Structure formats: C-alpha cells, structure tokens
Structure 1
Amino acid sequence: MTTNKQPIWTKNFLSISFLSLLVFITFYTLLTTLPIYVIYSLEGTEAQAGLVVTMMLLSSILVRPFSGNLMERLGKRNVLIGSTIAFAVISLGYIWVEQFVPLMILRFMHGVAFGLLTTTTSTIAADILPVERKGEGLGYFTLFMNMAIVIGPFFGLTLIQLISFQQLFITLSILVVFSVLCAMLVKLKNVGIPALSTAKKKLSIHDFFEFKAVPVSIISALVAFAYAGILSFISVYSVEIGLGHLSGYFFLVFAFMMLLTRPYLGRLFDQRGPQIVIIPCLITFSAGFIILSVAAESPWLFLIAAGVIGVGYGSLLPFLLSLSIKTIPPSRNGHGTSTFFTLYDSGVAAGSFLLGLMVPYIGFSNLYIFLAGLVLAIAVVFYLYQKHMEARKNNEKKQGSRAC
C-alpha cells in the first residue's frame, strides 16, 4: 500500500527559499568585500574592517530574541514583507555612503532588518512544510543558505576585480529587489494581525534562552571566533600576499571540499558518535590555519588551505548544532536552536572585531598561527566536555540501578 506524500516544492516554499538565497548572497557578498572597501577605499584600519562586520552581526543578534513576539503581534507575513523591504531599502544606502561612521550606522540598521528577516523566513519555512516531511524540507531550505556561502563571496570578490565598489553596491541593490518580489509571492493562512491575548504572560529569561544548550553553544562560539579570521579577513590577506585574484576561488574550493566530505562525516557522526568526528575535524581545521599562514605568494598552498579548512570547519556547525539539540527535550528545540545561533553569531562578531585589533600588531601570518593554536585548545575543551558528560551519564545509570 502506497501513501501520497504531501509536496514540499510548493510556490510558498520555493518563494521563501529563493528569498533566503538572495538575502544571504547579499549578506555574504558584503561580509567579504566591505573589509577591503574600508581599508582601500575609505583608508580605514584592520580594526575598522573587522568592526564593519561585527556591527551588523551585533544588531542582528540583539533583535533575534524579540522576533517571535513581533511575529505574534503583527503576523508572520507582515513582518516578512516589512523586513524584506527594509533590507532592500537599506541596501541602497551603500551606494552613497563614503565615510566610516555613516557606514557603521547603515550596518547597524541593516543588521536589525537582517535579524528579523532571517528569523521570519526560517519560521515560515517550518510552518509551510508538511509535518511528515519537515526534516527533509528544512534540509532543502538550509541548502539554499549553504549555496549562498559559496555564491556570495565568490560573486563579490570576483566582481571587485572587474568593477568599482559603487557598481557592486548597485548590483546588490538590484538583486534585493527580487527578494521583495519573492516575499510578496508568499501567501499564508490567517495573514491578518493576530488578536492579542488579554492575559498578560510574565516573560522570563527561559523564553529567550535554553541553558542546557549553552555548553555546546559556547564551544560553537569559540569555533565561530576562529572562523571569523577566514570570513572577515581572507579577502584582505589574499590582497596582502599578492593573491587577491584567487580570493573568490578560496570559498569555491572550501565549499567543494565541505560538500564532498559532509555526507561521509555525517554518517560517521550518527554511527560512531560526536567525539570520533568533531575532534579530527578541529585538528584538520587547525592544520588549515597553519598552511594558510605560510601561503604567501603560493597559489597552490592558498587553495590547499581552503580545501583543508573546508574539510575541518565545513561539518562542525551542523554536528555541534545536532549535539546541542540532543541535550534538551524536544519541546525546547526552538529555544535551543536560537541559543546556539545567538552564541555562534556572537563568536563571529567578537572574532571579527578582536582579530581586527590584533592584526596591526602581529600580522596576518601570526594571526593564523594563533588561531591554529586556539582551535587545538577547543579540541581539548571539547574532549574534556565529552568525558564529563559520559561520567555524568554513568553516574545517573548507577543511581538508577541502585534505586531499582
């Protein structure tokens, strides 16, 4: 007997997925090109280049915990359309901003729109998928975001070799117009403003965070801190060592190796447990930083480093997220995911700023050696955490058997 599966690829799902793709392409394009713009066009410092990344991440982190209440009050579709229009309008501002302080204000505003928009798209994607195919559908949805990690940096870093920054900003502004059209195509049931409950609910910190997910989320934040050295500064580093024309290909090789190894590593993670996969990935990630630190004027070493980092870092995010979710009850999955990404984004933001402060004093080569050591330290912390959790489980089993 066969059963008819409910479809995933509906007009709503395609619209919200392509909307997410366009927004994240814009996000990652700006994330990798603005540091170059700040240093070489605005004559800023490496610290300012890092701050321009941190500012947008900071404002998006601040707004995320309040997104749920806003969707409840105004309706999900209304927040979706409003935040998409805001994201598009603010994107136009980059064309005319030619000083650092106005750029920082623009980045803060852009982060608020981005935080609201990405939280809403993920919520709507989960809502419109059939219950029996939600896991499969969300896997496809996140694939669109993974595609943007490749397309955005490659698109931006390739274009700035051919056109001016103003022309790049105009191109991105055209791109986000299509994201508004995608938002308009999303139709939801009960799209009006929901009626507000007369009973006032007392808010607590548990409405925003899941504390059982915090230990693994802190480890993810440290990993994100290290990855900020790639995300925020690989474009500037490549120019400094005379390989600026290869900076876009760095992310292409990175993504290829990530996609090539993730299925095998995913099966290994399920079959053998997290420790057997995550610790080797961290060691590989560290090795990639070491190769990168000695890649001066060597295109092959530069691209080999990209591949090694793609293998090492590429699977850490989904594995750590899966591990954090396993520590909490299913009813708190949403809060656990929110906690995880809040701390992860905080790690990227802190890394972009603090590493930018370090570069003028130690240089990029020494910075990547420092990050290699940091990642090895993270591997030790993760090992100790796993041993602690194993000992805790054994104690609980012993106490349970004694009670029987």
Structure 2
Amino acid sequence: MMVNRLWSKDYIFVCLTTFFMFLNYYYLLVTIPIYLIQDLQGNTAQAGLLVLVFYIAAIAIRPIAGKWIESFGIKKVFLASLILYLGAALMYFFTTSLISLMILRVIHGVGFGMVTTTAGTIVANLIPQNRRGEGMGYYGLMMNMSMALGPFLGLLAINKWGATIMFVVSFGSVIIGTVTGLLISIPKDVRKVQAETRLKKKGLNINELIEMSALRVSLVCFFFALVYSSIVSFVSVYAEELGLTEVASYFFIVYVIALIISRPFTGKWFDQYGANVIIIPSIISFAIGMFLLSQANGAFMFLLSAAFIGLGWGTIFPTVQTIAIAIALPNRRGAATATFYSTMDLGIGIGSLIVGILGAKIGYSSLYFYSSFFALAGLIVYYYLHGRVSRSIRERVRAFELKKAE
C-alpha cells in the first residue's frame, strides 16, 4: 500500500460498499413505516417499534463484531456481514405480518451493525496516516449522499410502483454493495497487525469499547437524534397526511443540497473559530426548521423546512462527530467513533418509538411544533455538556497536535 496514495482500488470499493449499504438503510427507513401501515394494516406506534428494534440490534452487535474481528480476522467477519445483510434484504419479499417483519428488522439490524463496524475498520486501515482527515471526509460523504438518495428512491418506489418493486430496488442496491465489498482486498500488513492483536488481547473489557472522553459530546448528539428521529422515520407519513405525497420524496433532496452548500463554509469556520460558532446557529436553524414543518400547509413551506433542518442537523451531526474524535487520544479514536455512532443510533431508536406513540395521539403537526422548542432547549444541553469547555478542549487538542509535529 503506497504511503501517500488515497484513491486506491480498495478504498474506492469500500466507499462504494458503504454508499450502497447506507442507501439501502435510508431507503427502508422511510418506506418500512408506510409498508407496515398500508400493506400490513399496522399503526405508527408499531412502526416506531420496528425502527427501535433495528437500532437495538445494530447497537448490541457492534462491540461483539469488534471482538469477532480480533478473534477471527476482519476478512471473515466482513464476509459474514455481507452475506447476512444480503440475506435480510431478500427476506423482505416474504414478510406478511408484523411479527415476521419485526424479526427481520432485528436480523437486518445485526447485519447493518456488522457491516458498518467492519467497513469502518477497513477504511481506517486503508487511508494513509497523513491523509486521514481527507480520506474520512470522502468516506463520510458517501453516507451523506445515500441519506438524500435513499429516501428519495424509496418514497418514489413505494408511491409509484408499490411494495414489491420497492423491495426489488432494495435488494438490487444490496447486491451491488455486496459485489463491491467482495472486491475489497484486505492488505497483508493489516491482517498481520490483527493476528498480533488476537494473540495479545483476551476477554471483553467495557472500557475498551466506550471512549469516556467522547461520551459527553456524544450525549449532545443523542439529544438532537431524539428530534431527528421524527424526520427520518415519519416525515413521509406526515407528508401523506398533508396531501404532499408527491413532494415528500424531494424533502431529503432539498435537505442534502442545503447541507452540501453549507459544508465548505462550516468546515472552515469550525477550524478558525471553534465549535460554538458553528453549533449554536445550527441548533437555532434546526429548531426553526421543525417549527416551519409543523406549520406547513403546502409544498413551499414543507421544502423550506427541509433546508433549515439540513443546515441544522446536517451541521450538528458532523461537527459533534469531529469533536468526539478530536478530543480522544489517537489510539482511542476508533472507540470514540463507535461511542458516537452507538449513542446517535440509540437516540434515533428511542426517539422513533416515542414519536410513533405521540404522533398517533397528538398528530404530527403538534408533534413537530413541540419538537421545535425541544430542539431549542438543546442550546442549554450543549452548553452544559460541551459548550462551556469547548475553548479549553480546542486548545488542548491544538497543543497535542503541535507537540506531535515537533
């Protein structure tokens, strides 16, 4: 592996695998609630439960998958995860009840947790040390692109062609992701390091799985993930109530356009002025977007809310992730990433269950209205968990980097 080469064959294939697996994830995240309600005569509370069990399975398997990587090697675990994920995508054709769908969502969640853990480990080892930020940035962009395209394709498929074609497209995306995954070659030096690790490590230590330095700022993400769960899981249901079914598929397109346009500026401002200058306006934007969504009575207001939510959550998420990784020691950045993602997934999972129950009782318009004030209260949460120590942490990280460069 060349020291300074980023765009190797294996790096491209792991990025493509991540894109197609996350595409399938976001695709089903917005369509499964509709499928349950329309085809299986379920309700929104049950839809929220389906989201929750998926996330619980994904969160629970991650530390176990990490241990399997140490015990059996990343190549075997990655292959097993691809097969499991592909098998789960195929089984959606045979779900005919809430129980069968719930069992499948658990299996699919396990596959998702394994794929994301192993793919993240592979890409971290493929990226040259002196291009880690750039490499992880492009890798993260694959997730952002799938975040926009997945819901768009999913809503288009189920609204235009029905559940069967929806599952065909879903299965097709996983087939492509599996093929690109099988084309990845794990470098020999990575396999050698893993073999040495397997000889040295024994047992399962909880302190090795959770990075405590990243936990506080990860809890900030957990708080806002509770609010964001109402968007990613139920905005399509809300759009149907408003008679905006045709517009719903464009919600996430507007969302990601706003995110992409703002990303270069927010990234530079973060480097120059620190997290507070970015996070505080983003929280306000997120709250405004939720309020506009609650008041939407037409396509313009509905899509305008998507732009504000994209600027808000779309900036909060990567900024908090950057903080979580930056404040951890270099040898703990993998654990910091796992801590961050698990905390966020837990927030979306719990939030989806709560939103499903409350949405059925008070309606989604009222739910989004109250959520806007809940998001605004996040200013206080952020300040006490991280904002008031942001400057000292930033100075500590800079001092560490300067010392390392000497």
TM-score normalized with structure 1 length? 0.92
1:313 aligns with 2:287: no
Shift of 1:7: 2.3
Query: Aligned ranges for residues 80-95 of structure 1 at < 5 Å?
Result: 80-95=78-93
Deviation at 1:178, TM superposition (A): 1.8
Give the alignment's Cα RMSD to 1 decimal.
2.1
Paired position in structure 1 for 2:336: 336
CA contact (8 A) 2:78 2:118 kept: yes
Equivalent in the alignment of 2:180: 182
The answer on 1:287 being equivalent to 2:288 is yes
1:362 is the counterpart of 2:362 = yes
Structure 2 residue aligned with 1:164, among 151, 159, 162? 162
Could you tell me which residue of structure 1 aligns to residue 237 of structure 2?
236
Larger Rg: 1
Question: 141, 144, 147: which is aligned to 2:139?
Answer: 141
Unaligned runs of 5+ in 2: 397-406
Range 177-186 or range 199-208, more displaced? 199-208
For the residue of structure 1 that corresponds to 2:69, the secondary structure is helix
Show CA shifts across 1:45-84 (max 9, x none): 1111111112111100000112221112222122112211
Moved more, 185-194 or 206-215: 185-194
Relative distance call for 1:392 and 1:267 in structure 2 (3 A) is closer
Cα deviation digits, residues 297-343 of structure 1 (max 9, x gap): x1110011111111111111111112223433222211111111111
Gaps of 5+ in 1: 397-404
SS of residue matched to 1:381? helix
Shift of the 295–65 alpha-carbon distance from structure 1 to 2, 3 Å rule, reads: same
Aligned to 2:382: 382
Match of 2:70 in 1: 72
- Alpha carbons of structure 1 residues 293 and 117: separation in structure 2 relative to 1, 3 Å: same
Following the alignment from structure 1 to structure 2, what is the Cα–Cα distance between the partners of residues 332 and 135? 16
**Number of the residue aligned with 1:349:** 349
Report the Cα distance in structure 1 between the residues aligned to 2:385 and 2:197, rounded to whole angstroms.
Answer: 43
Distance in 1 (alpha carbons) for counterparts of 2:305 and 2:75 = 43
Determine the C-alpha separation between the residues in 1 that align with 2:78 and 2:387: 43
Match in the other structure for 1:402: none
Deviates more, 1:377-386 or 1:12-21: 377-386
Native 8 Å contact 1:73 1:195 kept in 2: no
1:251-307 CA distances to partner (integer Å, 9 max, x unpaired)?
Answer: 0000000111121112112211211221111011001111000113x1110011111
Residue 388 of structure 1, CA deviation: 4.5
Q: Distance in 2 between matches of 1:227 and 1:221?
A: 10
Structure 2 distance, partners of 1:128, 1:273, is: 29
Aligned to 1:121: 119
Partner amino acid, structure 2, of 1:185: L
Compared CA separation, residues 39 and 189, structure 1 to 2 (3 A): same
Structure number having the greater helix percentage = 2
Q: Following the alignment from structure 2 to structure 1, what is the Cα–Cα distance between the partners of residues 391 and 253?
A: 42
Deviation at 1:200, TM superposition (A): 6.1
Residues 1:197 and 1:221: Cα distance change in structure 2 (over 3 Å): closer
Question: What SS does the corresponding residue of 1:9 show, helix, strand or coil?
Answer: coil
Name the residue aligned to 1:303: 303
Name the aligned partner's letter for residue 322 of structure 1.
T
SS of corresponding position for 1:160: helix
Say if 1:35 and 1:49, in contact at 8 Å, map to a contact too.
yes
Aligned residues: 390
How many Å apart are 1:121 and its aligned residue? 0.6
Q: Cα distance, 1:390 vs. partner?
A: 6.5
The one-letter code of the counterpart of 1:324 is A
Measured in 2, the distance between the counterparts of 1:390 and 1:303 equals 33
Partner of 1:400: none
Give the match for residue 401 of structure 1. Answer: none
TM-aligned CA distance change 1:188 to 1:69, over 3 Å: same
Query: How far apart are the structure 2 equivalents of 1:316 and 1:153?
Result: 20
Who is 1:7 aligned against? Answer: 5
| Greater shift in the superposed pair: 193-202 or 126-135 | 193-202
Task: Give the 3-state SS of the residue equivalent to 1:8 in structure 2.
Answer: coil
Displacement of 1:243: 0.2
In structure 2, C-alpha distance between the alignment counterparts of 1:387 and 1:180, rounded to whole Å: 41
Q: Map 1:249-264 to 2 at 5 A.
A: 249-264=250-265
Matched-pair contact (CA < 8 Å) for 1:254–1:307: yes
Q: TM-score, normalised by structure 2?
A: 0.91
Q: Which AA in structure 2 matches 1:253?
A: V
> Residues 195 and 329 of structure 1: is their aligned pair in 2 closer, same or farther, counting only changes over 3 Å?
closer
